[in-house]
Amino acid sequence: MRERIRKVLDRLVFFRSLRVIFFIIIFLVGAVPCILLQDGILRNYEERAVEVRVEQVRDQLRSIANHLINTNYLVNHQSGQVDAELSEFGTLYDGRLMIIDPTLTVVKDTYSLSENKTIVSQDVITCLKTGNRDGSENYDREYGFIEIVVPIIETRSMEGLDYYLNRNITDSGDMTEYREYSFGRSGQTSDSSQANSVRGVLLASTSTEYIQKTKEILRRKALMLQVIMMIVVFFASIIISGMLVRPFEVLSRDISEVKEGYSNEPISAPIYTETRHIADAFNNVLGRMNALDQSRQEFVANVSHELKTPMTSMKVLAASLLSEENVDPAVYREFLEDIDHEIDRENKIISDLLDMVKEDRTNTDLEVTETDINALAKAVMKRLRPIAETADIALTLVNRREVIAEVDITRINLVLTNLVENAIKYNHEHGEVIVTVDADEEYFSFTVADNGIGIPEEDLNRIYERFFRVDKSRSREIGGTGLGLSITRSAILRHHGTISVESREGEGTTFIVRIPLRYSAEPMELRVGKQRRQITRLLRGRKKNTVEKEYVEKTIHVSRRKYKPLADKEAGTVPSSASAETGSAEEGREHL
CATH number at 389 reads: 3.30.565.10
User: Are residues 203 and 78 part of one domain?
Assistant: yes
Position 10 confidence tier, pLDDT thresholds 50, 70, 90: low
d(CA 138, CA 148): 7
Q: With pLDDT > 70 as the criterion, what percentage of the chain qualifies?
A: 74
pLDDT tens-place string over residues 54-84: 999 999 998 888 888 888 888 877 778 888 8
* CA geometry: angle 447, 449, 455, nearest 5 deg: 120
Q: Is residue 363 part of a domain?
A: no
Asked if 188 and 309 sit in the same domain, the reply is no
Give the residue-averaged pLDDT of 172-178. Answer: 37
Q: How confident is the model at residue 398 (pLDDT cuts 50, 70, 90)?
A: very high
In a domain? residue 262: no
In a domain, 502, yes or no: yes
Average pLDDT over residues 359-364: 60
pLDDT score for 82: 84
297 and 187 both lie in a single domain:
no
Of 123, 181, 166, the closest CA to residue 147 belongs to 123
The Cα–Cα gap between 92 and 296 comes to: 99
Same domain, 305 and 387: no
Q: Which amino acid is at 524?
A: M
Please count the other Cβ atoms lying within 10 Å of the Cβ belonging to residue 129. 14
Q: For residue 564, is pLDDT > 60?
A: no
Sheet of strand 508-516: strand arrangement: 498-504, 508-516, 443-450, 432-439, 394-399, 588-591
Average pLDDT, the chain: 77
- For residue 559, being part of any structural domain is answered with no
- Give burial (CB, 10 Å; 0-12/13-18/19+) of 248: middle
Q: Are residues 382 and 336 in the same domain?
A: no
* Sign of the CA dihedral running 101, 104, 108, 110: positive
Quickly count: other Cβ atoms within 10 Å of residue 100's Cβ. Answer: 26
What is the model's pLDDT at position 403?
A: 93
Residue 468 maps to a domain: yes
Q: What angle do CA 411, 412, 417 make, to 5 degrees?
A: 100
- Give residue 433's pLDDT: 94
149 inside domain: yes
Provide the CATH number for the domain around residue 161: 3.30.450
Q: Are 106 and 81 in contact (CB under 8 A)?
A: no
Final residue in a domain of this structure, among 156, 185, 211: 211
Candidate from 46-60, 347-361, 371-385 with smallest mean pLDDT? 347-361
> Of the ranges 2-11, 33-42, 534-543, which one carries the lowest mean pLDDT score?
534-543
Q: Report the pLDDT value the prediction gives residue 535, as an integer from 0 to 100.
A: 60
- The answer on 397 and 465 residing in a single domain is yes
Shared-domain flag, residues 339 and 378? no
pLDDT of residue 142: 85
140 with 281, same domain: the answer is: no
Residue type, 246: R
Which residue type sits at 393? Answer: I
Q: Per DSSP, which regions of 91-185 are E strands?
A: 95-100, 106-109, 136-140, 145-157
pLDDT mean over 176-201: 49
* 8 Å CB contact between 454 and 507: yes
User: Do 445 and 501 fall into the same domain?
Assistant: yes
In terms of Cα–Cα distance, which of 208, 220, 222, 211 is closest to 45?
211
> At residue 429, what is the residue type?
E
Same domain, yes or no, for 388 and 329?
no
Identity of residue 109: D
**pLDDT for 375:** 94
- The answer on 489 and 377 residing in a single domain is yes
Contact in structure between 342 and 314 (CB atoms under 8 Å): yes
Within this chain, do residues 382 and 484 fall inside the same structural domain, yes or no? yes
Q: Give the domain range for residue 307.
A: 274-345
- Distance CA(325)–CA(309), nearest Å, equals 26
Residue 107 CB-density burial (10 A; 0-12 exposed, 13-18 middle, 19+ buried): middle
Domain count, the chain: 3
220 in any annotated domain: no
Q: Is the pLDDT of residue 377 over 90?
A: yes
Residue 115 lies in a domain: yes
For the entire predicted model, the pTM comes to: 0.46
The whole-number average pLDDT for the span 93-115 is: 89
